[in-house]
Amino acid sequence: TSCKLCHANPASGAPLTGDGPAWSPRIAQGPDTLLDHTINGYNGMPPMGLCVQCSEEQFLALISFMSGQHIQ
Ligand code: HEC
Any domain includes 72: no
3-state secondary structure of 27: helix
The rounded Å distance from CA 47 to ligand 1 centre is 9
- In short, whether 10's Cβ falls inside 6 Å of ligand 1 is no
Any domain includes 29: yes
DSSP state of 42: B
Any domain includes 42: yes
* Half-sphere exposure in the Cβ direction for 49 (13 Å, CA): 25
What's the pLDDT tens digit per position in 1-57?
Answer: 789 999 999 999 999 999 999 999 999 999 999 999 999 999 999 999 999 999 999
For a mutational test of ligand 1's pocket, the pick from 1, 2, 5, 7, i.e. the residue with the most ligand atoms closer than 8 A to its C-beta, is 7
Any domain includes 32: yes
Q: Which domain holds residue 23?
A: 4-67
Residue (of 61, 58, 68) closest to 19 by Cα position: 68
The rounded Å distance from CA 72 to ligand 1 centre is 18
Split into its structural domains, the chain has a count of 1
CATH number of the domain that 40 lies in?
A: 1.10.760.10
Any domain includes 54: yes
Any domain includes 50: yes
- In contact, 72 and 27? CB cutoff 8 Å: no
**pLDDT (0 to 100) of residue 54:** 96
